[in-house]
Amino acid sequence: MRTIITASLAALLIAGAGAASAQPSGFDPDANGDGKITLGEMKTMRMNRMMEADANHDGKVSKAEYDAARNARMAQFAARGGPPPGAGRPGGPRPGGPRRDAFKESDLNGDGFVTKAEVERAVTERFAKMDTGHKGYVTRDEMIASFRAGAGGG
């Protein structure tokens, strides 16, 4: 299950790296543009994405909320004539391939909701595995290499 969660994070983070100009602010993992992605930046980016889907503002995202937010994002990209988030990137959509259930992958306790705590736990675990030098940050290249290598997927 952690492999699937990390693939979801990879798609979001790499999409931020390659499509930051096409996404609303707050979805680029390197928020301050210093070339260093900290745990705080990574958590903020992923939490912003989750909270975007929390239509009733109860601090958790249901499958219906998740689907509605995802469909709205896809419609925005289609209207701009751009690719969907993650397309052509590791972990991203594959033309003609099976679609992952990113919501199910993120719902760590299987209760039908994705909470802030679930997002924070997944991001913290993933970041710890990427920051092998314990510097307190990773670069985009390190992040992408980690996702491609599947490091920390177990």
- Contact indicator for 3, 153 with CB cutoff of 8 Å: yes
Average pLDDT, the chain: 74
Find the mean pLDDT for residues 70-82.
Answer: 84
pLDDT over threshold 70, residue 13: no
Predicted confidence at residue 154, as pLDDT, reads 35
The answer to whether residue 105 sits within a structural domain is yes
Three-state secondary structure string covering the chain: CHHHHHHHHHHHHHHHHHHHHHCCCCCCCCCCCCCCEEHHHHHHHHHHHHHHHCCCCCCEEEHHHHHHHHHHHHHHHHHHCCCCCCCCCCCCCCCCCCCCCHHHHHCCCCCCEEEHHHHHHHHHHHHHHHCCCCCCEECHHHHHHHHHHCCCCC
Going by pLDDT thresholds of 50, 70 and 90, the confidence category of residue 87 is: low
The answer to whether residue 145 sits within a structural domain is yes
| Residues 16-29 pLDDT 10s | 444 333 344 445 78
The answer to whether residue 154 sits within a structural domain is no
Helix (H, G, I), strand (E, B) or coil at 110: coil
Q: How far apart are CA 65 and CA 50, in angstroms?
A: 10
The answer to whether residue 17 sits within a structural domain is yes
Predicted confidence at residue 117, as pLDDT, reads 92
Q: How far apart are CA 53 and CA 29, in angstroms?
A: 18
- Enter the pTM of the model: 0.63
The answer to whether residue 131 sits within a structural domain is yes
What range defines the domain where residue 74 resides? 2-149
The answer to whether residue 46 sits within a structural domain is yes
The answer to whether residue 57 sits within a structural domain is yes
How many CB atoms within 10 Å of residue 132? Answer: 12
- CA distances to 92, 95, 101 from 98, rounded to whole Å, are 11, 9, 10
Helix (H, G, I), strand (E, B) or coil at 25: coil
Total of domains in the chain: 1
Give the tokens for residue 106. 């993120």
